[in-house]
Structures are given as structure tokens and as C-alpha cells.
Structure 1
Amino acid sequence: MSERLETLHKARERMVEERDAFAKVLAAPFDRDKAERSRARFIETQTLIDAIDRAIAGDR
């Protein structure tokens, strides 16, 4: 695997871990402030994961 693809895979893995942390906050008992921040960050992080996936697919 090229260094670029390896870097993209590592970045994706890190973002998935971050997204999972936001999902845990969303699944916890409701706290409006935390939930709103986590929802926005979850969506932002998922968008980034999708972009990394496209970069990986384009590099193959």
C-alpha cells in the first residue's frame, strides 16, 4: 500500500473513533447542550469520513 493510502486509512480510523465518541454522547441521557454540540460534530466528522473514503477510492 502506498504511503498516501496508508495515511488516508489512518486518518479515517482516527475520525471513526472520534465519531464513535460523539455517538456515545448522543446515546447517553439527554443533555441539550452536549447533544447539540455532539450532533453537529458527528455530522461534520461523518462528512469528513465520507470525503476520506472518496479520496481512498480515487487513489486506487
Structure 2
Amino acid sequence: MSDRLDNLKKARDRMLEDRDAHAKVLAAPFDRDKAERARAKFLEMQVLIDAIDRAIAGEPAAA
């Protein structure tokens, strides 16, 4: 596997962990301030994960 593809996969894993942390806040008892921040960060992380997925899909297959 290329270093670039390996780095993309590691970055994706890290962003999944970050997104999951924000999901936990959203699942917790409601606190408006925390929920609003968590919602914004969750969406930001999801957009980034989607972009990384597209980058991974665009990488040439390993020979």
C-alpha cells in the first residue's frame, strides 16, 4: 500500500474517532450549548470523512 493511501486511511480513522466523540455528546442528555457545538463539529467531521473517502477511492489500486 502506498504511503499516501496509508496516510489517508489513518486520517480517516482519526476523524471517525473525533466524530464519534461528538456523537456521544449529541446522544447525552440535552444541553443546548454543548449540543450546538457538537452538532457543528459532527457535521464538519462528516464532511471531512466524506472527502477522505473520495480521496481514497481516487487512489490507484495497489499492484
Interval containing the TM-score (normalised by the shorter chain): over 0.9
Partner in structure 1 of residue 36 of structure 2? 36
Query: TM-score with structure 2 length normalisation?
Result: 0.94
User: What are the within-5 Å matches in structure 2 for residues 16-31 of structure 1?
Assistant: 16-31=16-31
- The DSSP-based 3-state class of the residue aligned with 2:29 is coil
- 1:58 CA drift (Å): 0.4
Unaligned runs of 5+ in 2: none
Superposed CA RMSD: 0.4
Runs of 4+ aligned structure 1 residues displaced above 4 Å come to: none
**CA displacement 1:8-44 (0-9 Å, x = unmatched):** 0000000000000000000000000000000000000
Give the number of the structure whose alpha-carbon radius of gyration is greater: 2
Alpha-carbon distance in structure 2 between the residues aligned to 1:34 and 1:51: 26
Partner in structure 2 of residue 12 of structure 1? 12
